[in-house]
């Protein structure tokens, strides 16, 4: 009877706040939002968690930090007392995978792209696994391209996006419910963190957003890795922002602007800064630095010449340098004379037919 009452209350409210404590007694504040059907989004300390409930059990996406696991489980149990069957890691960062071992102890099978498991092994190189590493936190099931789950009346597509936020990103698409968890490919209303050292890239990130947008319509609910529940329009705005900044940085780099000059530019970031994009984890300067580093590396790989050599070549190619006015006039007059001569010849030929 008590369980039925809890479930009825959860169904009646689409949002509730939770207060719990970590193991060391500190209070943790969380919020749970009903996204659609039996799919929920949980916000707390760390990346956004999603979970689906039903007769097939609980299906989770990400799990924040270990210290918040107690509050996380408490919030899930407010909605369902079914076992946690699967946990998908959208990537390897600790604010999305920190409670893996605890969820495994609850019975969850951890699933991820192979890049996440590889990243975990990279972290423990040179350590004593016997005492210092809990291997239950490692994904047991991995995939390279995509995989499907058939749970709680939904077909759940989990697919990989190459070299975007990291090299092991996964996006989760509830195909029947039209709900997507984008992981850290979506920082709603903020500049994104792109982990270049972890295999991420600006161009890969943009391609990843394009891939997600192909699945969306105006009714799609998108759970971001960080930020509020999003829409297709908001995801598209994030995509267009990143495309715009990448083009502007590339343009100024090719003009010969230095790193210091580009990182100080605010003329083209101004519209986004005014909307609060730079008030998150990644500041305006940090996103420009990320883009600059990628652009400069790409250009160096493509063209080994120095910036001065490339700039001179561009000036020659597009005649940016000021030419001698007399020479320009002479060239123009000569061209006009040649044009008239050719026209005269054409008329003479036509008249002789």
Beta strands in 114-246 (DSSP E): 141-143, 146-151, 154-161, 169-174, 179-181, 221-223
The whole model's pTM is what?
0.80
Q: How would you write the pLDDT of the chain (353 residues) with one tens digit per residue? A: 443 433 333 333 355 555 544 444 445 578 999 999 999 999 999 999 999 999 999 999 999 999 999 999 999 999 999 999 999 999 999 999 999 999 999 999 999 999 999 999 998 886 665 456 789 999 999 999 999 999 999 999 999 999 999 999 999 999 999 999 999 999 999 999 999 999 999 999 999 999 999 999 999 999 999 999 999 999 999 999 999 999 999 999 999 999 999 999 999 999 999 999 999 999 999 999 999 999 999 988 766 666 677 667 766 765 544 455 555 555 555 566 676 677 666 666 655 55
Q: How many domains does the chain have?
A: 3
Residues 208 and 276 in one domain: no
Residue 315 vs residues 179, 258, 312: alpha-carbon distances, Å: 50, 18, 5
Q: Residue 182: which CATH number?
A: 3.60.15.10
Residues 169 and 29 in one domain: yes
**pLDDT computed for residue 243 by the predictor:** 98
**pLDDT computed for residue 313 by the predictor:** 72
Residues 180 and 262 in one domain: no
Residues 275 and 331 in one domain: no
Alpha carbons 349 and 347: distance in angstroms, whole number: 5
Domain's final residue, options 178, 206, 230 = 230
Q: Name the residue range of residue 254's domain.
A: 231-321
Residues 7 and 144 in one domain: yes
The residues that bridge with 32 in the sheet, in sequence order, are 16, 42
Residues 247 and 158 in one domain: no
A 10 A CB-CB count for 57 gives 18
H helix and E strand count, the chain: 13, 13
Terminal Cα-to-Cα distance of the chain (whole angstroms): 105
Residues 249 and 206 in one domain: no
Residues 241 and 311 in one domain: yes
Domain's final residue, options 197, 230, 263 = 230
Residues 18 and 44 in one domain: yes
Q: Which residues contact 107 (CB under 8 A, 6 or more apart)?
A: 83, 84, 85
Residues 16 and 77 in one domain: yes
**pLDDT computed for residue 12 by the predictor:** 38
């Amino acid at each position: 009877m008590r369980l039925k009452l809890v479930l009825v209350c959860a169904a009646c409210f689409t949002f509730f706040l939770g207060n719990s404590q970590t193991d060391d007694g500190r209070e943790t504040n969380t919020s749970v939002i009903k996204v659609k059907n039996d799919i929920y989004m949980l916000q707390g300390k760390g990346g956004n968690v999603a979970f689906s409930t039903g007769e097939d059990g609980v299906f989770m996406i990400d799990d924040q930090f270990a210290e918040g696991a107690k509050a996380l489980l408490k919030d899930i149990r407010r909605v369902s007392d079914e076992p946690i069957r699967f946990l998908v890691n959208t990537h390897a960062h600790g604010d999305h995978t920190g409670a893996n071992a605890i969820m495994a102890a609850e019975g969850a099978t951890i699933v991820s792209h192979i890049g996440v498991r590889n990243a975990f092994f990279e972290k423990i190189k040179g350590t004593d696994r016997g005492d210092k590493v809990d291997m239950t936190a490692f994904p047991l099931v991995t995939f390279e391209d995509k995989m499907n789950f058939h749970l709680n009346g939904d077909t759940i597509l989990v697919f990989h996006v190459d070299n975007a936020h990291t090299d092991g990103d996964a996006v989760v698409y509830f195909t029947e419910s039209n709900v997507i968890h984008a992981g850290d490919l979506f920082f709603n209303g903020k500049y994104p963190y792109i982990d270049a050292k972890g295999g991420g890239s600006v161009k890969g990130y943009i391609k990843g957003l394009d891939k997600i947008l192909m699945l969306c319509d105006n009714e799609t609910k998108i759970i971001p890795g960080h930020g509020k529940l999003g829409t297709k329009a908001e995801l598209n705005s994030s995509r267009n922002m990143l495309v715009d900044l990448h083009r502007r940085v590339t343009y100024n780099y090719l003009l010969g602007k230095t790193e210091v000059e580009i990182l100080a530019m605010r003329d083209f970031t101004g519209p986004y800064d005014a909307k609060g994009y730079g008030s998150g984890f990644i500041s305006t300067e940090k996103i420009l630095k990320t883009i600059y580093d990628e652009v400069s590396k790409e250009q160096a790989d493509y063209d080994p010449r120095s910036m001065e050599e490339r700039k001179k070549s561009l000036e020659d190619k597009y005649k940016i340098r000021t030419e001698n006015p007399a020479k320009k006039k002479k060239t123009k007059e000569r061209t006009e004379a040649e044009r008239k001569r050719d026209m005269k010849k054409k008329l003479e030929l036509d008249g002789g037919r």
